[in-house]
């Protein structure tokens, strides 16, 4: 360790961290991860599943950490053979990397059939999971359901990266590099220990020669500015009537809250809704689509990611009546309205090229993914969230939602179905995935 490293105040300094290693090909990265965690100041112990030993030997971790890895649920050398309880009490942080689909399923179901899963039920520590698996397994609805369940149970998920996998497939499912995982933890615990500064000074003071990737990730997190549109727009017909829709704004507000929790600087541009402003969010209220477009364009120069979650009215009155339209002033029982098309806010913003990453929402009632893919390509977005608003149990006005995240990787469209969950839990997952996609796009 260099003199610079010794003087570095790491957010992980002195933390008791239990590294769980499960049986995936990415287990080879866990050796590098263990060493990186130690360099960051953590006191590291390792727990291996039986499957992990098929990919990496316990001796490797013993040499790196100076401690024999824990493998067995009942340890005859521990007091009363209850070594798992001792470990559960010892740990402040548990990081499972890689986390296989099997381990995710066990944790989501509350199973405890080996040392690692038993520890997770018995501990009061923060538990972080870094999924790593084949892209088809990651995209499977069961895995996505388990991911959402883990979020609701309080687990912290570090979203997998996209790229070429060991099996030859290309897609999401790769475990992030060890330096990025350490950076993620550093960011979280630096914020937790320095609420007034968001940990900014702590992380910058910990820039060491061996953590270039960590520095890049931390700086991105520090400066990430997200603009989110939410709610409906209202297009006036006369002083008392307007065109609008059933959007409650709940999804956009939940996204804003989730983004703040991830350390982002959030501006929320909202149509007329009856919702409190999430803590830490800058809110701008608008009524019409043109007002919303104007607010978005003003925010764009300082925006890294734009998320268009608002349900913008497609049309507005060509002329707004100065006075209330009277029934008796019309011919017969019909009223003819002359409407003109509203500006497409998200497409206009994407065309400007000022935001580095633009995300749309596609609220559809039929052929949901097909329409969403068309919008993704036609409007030149980086990603789009598709949801079926014809289902009365989700979408407009509901506290729950079920969506599919579509993103572009070169010429390929990647689909990630996210199972039905509360809008708060779903927003946490979406924001994590969108930040991960932004990082990949920004670094490419």
- Closest by Cα among 275, 259, 304, 249 to 432: 259
* 379 in a labelled binding site: yes
Which phi and psi (to 5°) does residue 303 adopt?
A: -105, 130
Q: What's the CA angle centered on 417, arms 397 and 221, to 5 degrees? A: 85
Which phi and psi (to 5°) does residue 401 adopt?
A: -155, 165
* 81 in a labelled binding site: no
> 119: buried, middle or exposed (CB in 10 Å: 19+, 13-18, 0-12)?
buried
167: annotated active-site residue: yes
CB of 364 closer than 8 Å to CB of 386: yes
* 346 in a labelled binding site: yes
* 375 in a labelled binding site: yes
* 341 in a labelled binding site: no
| Nearby residues of 128 by Cβ (< 8 Å), 6 or more positions away | 93, 94, 95, 96, 97, 155, 156, 157, 158, 184, 185
Considering the candidates 8, 120, 167, 206, report the single residue annotated as catalytic. 167
* 38 in a labelled binding site: no
Which phi and psi (to 5°) does residue 16 adopt?
A: -90, 110
* 343 in a labelled binding site: yes
* 178 in a labelled binding site: no
Q: Annotated binding residues for CTP, as ranges?
A: 308-310, 314, 324, 343-346, 361, 375, 379
Active-site residue numbers? 167
């Amino acid at each position: 360790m260099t003199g610079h490293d010794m003087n570095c105040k790491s957010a992980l300094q002195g933390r008791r961290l239990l590294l769980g290693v499960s049986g995936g090909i990415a287990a080879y990265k866990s050796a590098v991860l263990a060493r990186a965690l130690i360099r960051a100041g953590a006191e590291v112990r390792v727990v291996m599943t039986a499957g992990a030993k098929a990919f990496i030997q316990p001796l490797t971790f013993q040499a790196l950490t100076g401690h024999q890895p824990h493998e067995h649920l009942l340890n005859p050398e521990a007091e009363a053979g209850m070594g798992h309880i001792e470990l559960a009490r010892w740990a402040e942080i548990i990081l499972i990397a890689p986390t296989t689909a099997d381990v995710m399923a066990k944790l989501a179901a509350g199973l405890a059939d080996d040392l690692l899963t038993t520890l997770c039920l018995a501990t009061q520590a923060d538990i972080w999971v870094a999924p790593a698996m084949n892209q088809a397994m990651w995209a499977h609805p069961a895995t996505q359901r388990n991911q959402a369940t883990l979020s609701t149970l309080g687990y912290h998920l570090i979203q997998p990266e996209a790229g070429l996998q060991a099996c030859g497939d290309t897609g999401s499912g790769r475990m992030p590099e060890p330096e990025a995982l350490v950076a993620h933890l550093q960011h979280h615990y630096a914020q937790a220990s320095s609420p007034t500064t968001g940990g900014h000074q702590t992380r910058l003071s910990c820039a060491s020669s061996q953590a270039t990737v960590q520095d890049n990730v931390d700086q991105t997190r520090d400066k990430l500015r997200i603009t989110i549109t939410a709610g409906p727009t209202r297009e006036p017909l006369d002083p008392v009537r307007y065109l609008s829709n059933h959007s409650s704004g709940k999804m956009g507000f939940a996204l804003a809250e989730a983004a703040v929790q991830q350390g982002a600087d959030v501006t929320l541009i909202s149509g007329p809704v009856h919702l409190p402003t999430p803590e830490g969010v800058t809110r701008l209220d608008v009524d019409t689509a043109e007002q919303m477009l104007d607010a978005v364009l003003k925010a764009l120069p300082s925006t890294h990611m734009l998320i268009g979650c608002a349900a913008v009215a497609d049309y507005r009155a060509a002329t707004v009546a100065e006075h209330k339209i009277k029934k008796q002033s019309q011919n017969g029982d019909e009223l003819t309205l002359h409407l003109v098309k509203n500006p497409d806010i998200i497409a206009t913003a994407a065309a400007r090229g000022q935001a580095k990453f633009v995300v749309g929402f596609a609220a559809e009632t039929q052929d949901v993914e097909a329409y969403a893919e068309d919008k993704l390509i036609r409007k030149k977005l980086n990603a789009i969230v598709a949801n079926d608003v014809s289902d009365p149990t989700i979408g407009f006005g509901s506290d729950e939602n079920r969506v599919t995240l579509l993103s572009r990787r070169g010429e390929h469209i990647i689909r990630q179905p996210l199972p039905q969950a509360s809008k708060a839990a779903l927003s946490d997952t979406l924001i994590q995935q969108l930040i991960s996609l932004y990082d990949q796009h920004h670094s490419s």
